[in-house]
Structure 1
């Protein structure tokens, strides 16, 4: 039995309906690669979500995901992206707001309680604050973890390391102790910079010249040259081996005959 919902709903007219429903709450729109993205004012996020959920022709009832993005060179460096699904229209849309380390984003847990878990993950990874989330604490990293690991300025080695101390008989935090000196591998990183096009080429030793190839072995192609095979009109004369010297044969004595006196 087939479902009444279409297998794929096109984007035709979605942006126009959203603009009519949200009005000035929309800052920017984008329709690229078959996906619609709406950038809305952070302060009016809840009103925009209610309109997207309840407006006929939109009806995005389900929150699928909340994701963070870090753009280090922007004043409001973080994007918080909400992925919504319309169950009646079988269509998806992305809603985006921008913020920084200090400005909180309104929590959507009043509409979708499951957002509490998703907002905790964005807070843990990026440090984005959500106003109205009653349980905003880390969800993936340890309770004593320092920093937010998905930020672009977070060091690969972290700030502290966790280990069990036999002396203290408990888990302790200590500054990171690397087994070798830390080496920064900048692969054209925009926040570290690189003055060369192919990282590492200037450090590689010069390639030694290749050894000359071995001489090509002397080959023969016909039986006339090799003397191999059965004798025949095309075999040609048998080649003479210069290393073999043949002794001349002694002349045989003529047989006696009645004519020879």
Structure 2
């Protein structure tokens, strides 16, 4: 993969260097007559990660740099949609895109001859209610041709739909249905967008942070009606059971005499 990226980036990097940022800047000192220049470094090279630990997995800095340059190549090809390129701590490439550019970027990653990410093993999402766009959709892609992985991330809210990727990978039919069921993320151009894991007529979306742990409704078998009935959740005070002691009894370590010798057994 490094060999073909070297050829690609030979033509792409000059465009990137003109469009992204300058490699140096000058700061003027107002108090004195001397000028001070600060070198910001090359924005197209990642800083190598080196450490002396013998237990942690070592980073492959050459592979990280190659994937990062490929991410810059994707950003140069789709500058309207790609907002940021970053490397995760697991040496995985992450491409952050705008919501309207999700399908174009996924199409590029799937069909472009220099990417060939023709397999999407998973699609998931996270919920951060404090954000304006509370949902973050994550597509995990794998290139079977170059044996590399990448993540494409975007954001949305409860009302803004995302373009479905079922046209690219048919397996995402169930992944996007699960995201719709658990988070309430709406996907346009989906062939069969309906709930997947919850019951018919289920209220709410269980993986949202504002969804109560006990839910809104409960089901039980009614002996009189001889069928399963659904009713609002109700907890009677007399039916609650409080477990105040830990099964590991760690609280004993904070009492006086916790290190005292054990008393002798009682004689019977």
Which TM-score band applies after superposition, normalised by the shorter structure? Answer: 0.5 to 0.7
Structure 1 residue 177 corresponds to structure 2 residue 177: no
Residue 125 of structure 2 is aligned with which of 65, 68, 83? 68
- Which residue does 1:210 correspond to in 2? 257
Residue 70 of structure 2 is aligned with which of 2, 11, 14? 14
Q: Deviations over 1:84-136 (max 9, x none)?
A: 11111000100011001111111111112221111000111101111111211
How much has 1:153 moved relative to structure 2? 0.9
Residue 88 of structure 1 is aligned with which of 122, 125, 145? 145
Give me the whole-angstrom Cα distance separating, in 2, the residues matched to 1:24 and 1:68: 23
More helix by share: 2
CA 1:211/1:113 → structure 2, altered by over 3 Å: closer, same or farther?
closer
8 Å Cα contact 1:17/1:57 also seen in 2: no
TM norm structure 1: 0.65
Give me the whole-angstrom Cα distance separating, in 2, the residues matched to 1:37 and 1:212: 52
CA 1:60/1:155 → structure 2, altered by over 3 Å: closer, same or farther?
same
- Which residue does 2:87 correspond to in 1? 31
- Which residue does 1:5 correspond to in 2? none
How much has 1:14 moved relative to structure 2? 1.6
Give me the whole-angstrom Cα distance separating, in 2, the residues matched to 1:47 and 1:208: 63
Give me the whole-angstrom Cα distance separating, in 2, the residues matched to 1:102 and 1:69: 16
8 Å Cα contact 1:107/1:132 also seen in 2: yes
For the pair shown, which has the larger CA radius of gyration, 1 or 2?
A: 1
Give me the whole-angstrom Cα distance separating, in 2, the residues matched to 1:170 and 1:212: 57
Give me the whole-angstrom Cα distance separating, in 2, the residues matched to 1:91 and 1:212: 56
Aligned residues: 188
Trace 1:92-241 onto structure 2 (pairs within 5 A).
Answer: 92-178=149-235, 179-180=239-240, 208-210=255-257
Gaps of 5+ in 1: 1-7, 184-203, 215-261
Q: Secondary structure at the match of 1:173?
A: strand
Gaps of 5+ in 2: 1-59, 244-250, 262-268
Give me the whole-angstrom Cα distance separating, in 2, the residues matched to 1:99 and 1:77: 7
TM norm structure 2: 0.64
